[in-house]
Amino acid sequence: MIDLRIRLQLFAEGAEDRTEKATPKKRQEARKKGQVLQSREITSALVLLFVFVSLRIFGRYMYEQISEFTRRIMVEYSGVEDLYTPNALTKLFLETMMVLFKVVGPVFSVALITGLMAGYAQVGFLFTTETLGFKFNRINPISGFKRMFSLRGVVELVKSVLKICIIGYVAYSYLKGEASNVLKLMDMDIMSIGVYIGVTSINAAIRICAVLILLGILDYGYQWWEYEKSLRMSKQEVKEEYKQTEGNPEIKSKIKQKQREMSMRRMLHEVPKADVVITNPTHYAVALKYDVNIADAPVVVAKGQDFIALRIKETAKENKVEIVENKALAKTLYETVDIGQKIPPELYQAVAEVLAFVYSLRKTS
């Protein structure tokens, strides 16, 4: 029976739903492991969009660079007799690399900057080596099949099919509108045909990228939902984390209790040094000490309410400290003056009368 009960408890703990939102510590640990909210769809769509826009902007410049280099190859280098010498080939190679850099550089720079900015906007600055570590489940065929046939795999498949269908429809709609212009290509020269095909292709690509960005925004919403779901915690996990970060509540309660007891002992130790204890018989007790060598006004050396007030009065009686009943003054002192502080000027008159009464009692005795 005991063994069965233990097993049922373990089963219940393992089956506990993760219904609690992730704590800041859990999010920070997930970020350190590289588990962050990011949509690769929107990043790739932005990169493609800006690449095609840059092709549209730098297209003429790229054409001129390639055209000029081709002309030089065909005209200038064809007449060089020692073209196939090491020096000439090295010069040709370096010039080719320079032209390639001029042609590809602007587009590559745009793609790099866009990718970095899109990633930073979603994730911020993050450097971690956790994702580079070897994990057996990445090459485990069983885990691979589970991922393929899991809910996430089905969602990714549906997203891919929808993306293809939407992209195909956008491309078809745009090219259908260009059908009348295609018939005019028969009356154009080769250069004009090439320009038209290039411009049309880039325009179609830009429209497709704009649609991909919209799909990426939707994907970002889905990734946010999935990310939050993956970080959810069970109530037991939240409790354990609280114990680790804040300490065990029972231990903290005992520590606070010990601190209160030590503080009360220190306070009661000061009561025998007081000149008077002013009380509200059943609720408050405030011990005052007046020493002109220490302060220019009476100082509260102890105060308490209910049980502590009773302890202060008992200690005062044991040490023959005068106890004076003054309900209003006791309550005011308790609420407005902390231990170790001087009484405020507005209470000088009332306290002076009490001290005068106490000093008169000492003289008569």
Whether the predicted pLDDT of 245 surpasses 70: no
Lowest mean pLDDT among 10-24, 165-179, 226-240: 10-24
Per-residue pLDDT, 11: 41
Q: Across the strands, what pairs with 105?
A: none
On whether the CB atoms of residues 37 and 123 are closer than 8 A, the answer is yes
Q: What is the mean pLDDT of residues 225-240?
A: 81
In degrees to the nearest 10, what's the CA dihedral of 292, 295, 298, 304?
-130
Band (113; pLDDT cuts 50, 70, 90): very high
Q: Give the pLDDT mean for 246-274.
A: 76
Beta carbons of 189 and 230 less than 8 angstroms apart:
no
Correct CATH for 251-364 of 3.40.50.1370, 3.40.1690.10, 3.40.50.720, 3.40.50.300: 3.40.1690.10
Average pLDDT rounded to a whole number, residues 36-52: 85
9 — pLDDT class (breaks 50, 70, 90): very low
Instruction: Note the helical H segments in the chain.
Output: 2-14, 24-32, 40-75, 86-123, 141-148, 151-177, 179-183, 190-231, 235-246, 249-270, 307-318, 327-336, 348-364
List the chain domain ranges: 23-241, 251-364
Give pLDDT, residue 2: 41
How confident is the model at residue 365, as a pLDDT?
61
Region 247-265: what's the mean pLDDT? 73
Residue 269 identity (one-letter amino acid): H
Q: What is the DSSP letter of 88?
A: H
Whole-angstrom distance, CA of residue 337 vs CA of residue 335: 6
CA distance 36 to 28: 10
Q: Is the pLDDT of residue 42 over 80?
A: yes
pLDDT at 271: 84
- Beta partners for residue 300, in sequence order: 288
Higher pLDDT residue, 40 or 141?
A: 40
Token duo for residue 340: 């170790």
Mean pLDDT value of segment 213-226: 85
Chain mean pLDDT for the chain: 79
pLDDT given at position 182: 76
What average pLDDT score do residues 208-228 get?
86
pLDDT value at residue 12:
43
Contact between 122 and 43 (Cβ < 8 Å) = yes
Q: Quick one: average pLDDT of 166-179? A: 85
* pTM greater than 0.85: no
Place of tokens 């991909």: 212
- Cβ(276)–Cβ(353) under 8 Å? no
Is the confidence at residue 15, as pLDDT, over 70?
Answer: no
Question: How far is it, in rounded angstroms, from Cα 146 to Cα 15?
Answer: 20
